[in-house]
Amino acid sequence: MAQKEANHTPNGNRGVDPTTLSVLWNKFESLLDESGEKVLHGTQSFVLALVRDFGLGLLNPKGEIVAAAAYVARHIFTAAESAKNIINKFEGRFEPNDLIIGNDPYIIRSGHLPDWAFVRPIFYKKELVGFFQFRGHMADTGGFLPGGYGPGAYDIIAEGLNIPGLKVIKNGVVDEDLWELICRNVRNSRQVDMDTMLINGAMMQAEDEILRLFEKYGPDTVMAFMEEMIDAGERAARAEISKMPDGVYYGESASDWDGTTDKPVRIKVKMTVKDDELTFDFDGSDPQVTFVNSPLGNTISIVMESFYAMIDPSAPKNQGSFRPVHVIAPDGTVVNPTYPATVGACGINIGEPLMEACKIALAQAVPDMATGGFARHSCPINIGMDLDEIDPRTGSVKQYMAETFASDGSGGAMKGFDGWPGVGPGSFLGSFMRPDIEYFESEVPFRVLRYEFTRDSAGDGEYRGGPGVYVEMASDTKPGHPSFLMTGNSDGMEVAARGPTGVDLEKLEMWIESPDGEKRVLRTMVTEPIHSGEVCFTKAPGGGGWGNPLNRDVKKVQDDVIDGLVSMEKARHIYGVIINPENFEIQLEETEKQRKEMKKNQG
């Protein structure tokens, strides 16, 4: 099929100097990165500091994303809904040094309750010239279980504090009564308080840098360049879509279950390519259930992440690229629930199959960008109390909520590249970090006994997937002290992850063993007590492969055998590579003969 001509609108005739545009663009991104680093090194929160579960963006006065920091993409792209709805609520009522906080999935329409959006207006000489948005997973957000992952919650109120967009700082002055009310209704309120002021301070410093640019270049120039950045994102997105053949493409996947109904929760998407526009229609996806529902902003963000993952990685990722991409998400479905449905596991448990479905559809239009499947999230969250440890600042017992993220599996391969090892769920695009084991062990009463890649677990291909991950974690919980493992953000035990290349991964395995050897399966979407001396095991799958394994470079197969990732038996029978077990040398003549015979049998 002949390639279509791209319809690039607008045409970029703003009269902006490309050199200055590049300087400003890089400056915007660097100051956002610097703000993120300030939070990263100053936060009191385990999840913000060690998992880096946050994102920052610079927005224009309409709330459109201009530039973003390279942290978790989901936190940035949900701003297309959350920031817009917060800004619309306070239109005409912004003052310098305001700080607005929101997390309500049915008012600001972003994601689950632990992810708070912080919006700060930017004024230059009394004129509103833009906004900063920081969005991150806070230490706690109330609700009937710590951390926000509570399968079985009756409704969204039971899941946690719903903040509809509130001005907690007005013209530089904290609303003490309002802030006390919020902090009184969350656990670890001291962390939440300190992190909020840290986030506001980081954005204040970024604002100072932005205002210096306004002074240097003039407000008209900077504002024009911000709009040109957005337009450049649109032109690039349209150019990428124009490479796709017109047509209708389909994708489907499913989450294990919602913690209540005991059946898979299905996502279906019909993707239509027409000229330089894309439409993702989720009609046919399951009606809303409990716990795994995806609010509209979360759904839109995952669609855009899927799109970005399948196009030229140098394309700008801002509001402009949203313009030619349309999302149809029927009300009352798992991809656009209605109040008061719960949404605690929307980020991963439905986020992963949602991205899988989108990428399966996209892979039919851009097959050279298809990847093997990514292992879904497999991280039991450790929650509990140490009744013997009293915080002298508050007089209360120590409460903990921590997650190692160490048990996550690996990424899928693509043409030219092996899958990333241990990268975790694909819907976070490799942005989650793995906390230090030593820090984890200092925070919670658990010890990590084994933490390793598993042999012969990577998906096979000319480019192989990343290897699977195996973890053993022992509980040192004191007798009588409450301790639980939450698996409300784990998935892939009942329904295997699906890859755009058409191959499903192995299923996740999790279980607990007692000191006397009794074994019980640790299912996804549950909250399970764990007692002193018990050990939690997770065995996460490797990523999917790409291409014919008989075309893999024999030297790479040899390296994988030496590294313990591939057995000699698999090297011989799957890759057609015969290796001497005594010196690990490739037996070239035998290998050539073996591969020739195996390819002949493939037809």
Q: Render pLDDT for 467-512 as a digit per residue (tens, 0 to 9).
A: 999 999 999 998 888 899 988 889 999 999 988 887 789 999 999 9
Whether 399 is covered by a domain: the verdict is yes
pLDDT in the model for residue 176: 98
pLDDT at 93 over 90: yes
pLDDT in the model for residue 230: 97
pTM, full prediction: 0.94
Whether 382 is covered by a domain: the verdict is yes
pLDDT in the model for residue 426: 84
Distance, in Å, from the CA atom of 328 to the CA atom of 463, rounded to the nearest integer, reads 35
One domain for residues 63 and 209: yes
One domain for residues 37 and 180: yes
143-152, 428-437, 465-474: range with highest mean pLDDT: 465-474
One domain for residues 595 and 493: no
Whether 272 is covered by a domain: the verdict is no
pLDDT bracket for residue 17 (50, 70, 90): confident
One domain for residues 122 and 147: yes
Tell me what the mean pLDDT of segment 315-343 comes to. Answer: 97
Tally of structural domains, the chain: 3
pLDDT in the model for residue 394: 73
Q: Which domain holds residue 54?
A: 18-235
Sign, CA torsion 20/24/27/33: negative
Distance, in Å, from the CA atom of 327 to the CA atom of 304, rounded to the nearest integer, reads 10
Strand ranges (E), 395-497: 397-402, 446-454, 468-475, 483-486
Residue 186, both tokens: 């969350």
525, 547, 569 — which closes off a domain?
547
Whether 485 is covered by a domain: the verdict is yes
Contact between 70 and 257 under an 8 Å Cβ cutoff? The reply is no
174, 208, 235 — which closes off a domain?
235
549 SS3 class: helix
One domain for residues 508 and 566: no
One domain for residues 424 and 444: yes
One domain for residues 474 and 430: yes
pLDDT in the model for residue 1: 34
One domain for residues 576 and 527: no
Percent of the chain exceeding pLDDT 90 equals 78
Whether 357 is covered by a domain: the verdict is no
Whether 256 is covered by a domain: the verdict is no
One domain for residues 72 and 104: yes
**pLDDT mean across residues, the chain:** 92
203, 235, 267 — which closes off a domain?
235
pLDDT at 136 over 60: yes
Half-sphere exposure of 473 (CA within 13 A, CB side): 28
One domain for residues 463 and 573: no
Q: In what order do the strands lie in the sheet with 468-475?
A: 446-454, 468-475, 535-540, 509-513, 519-521
Distance, in Å, from the CA atom of 139 to the CA atom of 134, rounded to the nearest integer, reads 15
One domain for residues 109 and 127: yes
pLDDT in the model for residue 424: 81
Whether 487 is covered by a domain: the verdict is yes
CA distances (Å), origin 295, targets 104, 216, 559, 561 = 10, 41, 45, 45
Tell me what the mean pLDDT of segment 238-261 comes to. Answer: 96
pLDDT in the model for residue 504: 86
Residue 289, both tokens: 């259930």
Tell me what the mean pLDDT of segment 30-42 comes to. Answer: 96
pLDDT in the model for residue 8: 34
One domain for residues 432 and 571: no
Q: What region does 92 belong to: left with phi over 0, alpha with psi -120 to 50, or beta? A: left
Tell me what the mean pLDDT of segment 535-556 comes to. Answer: 96
Whether 348 is covered by a domain: the verdict is no
pLDDT in the model for residue 406: 60
Tell me what the mean pLDDT of segment 76-80 comes to. Answer: 90
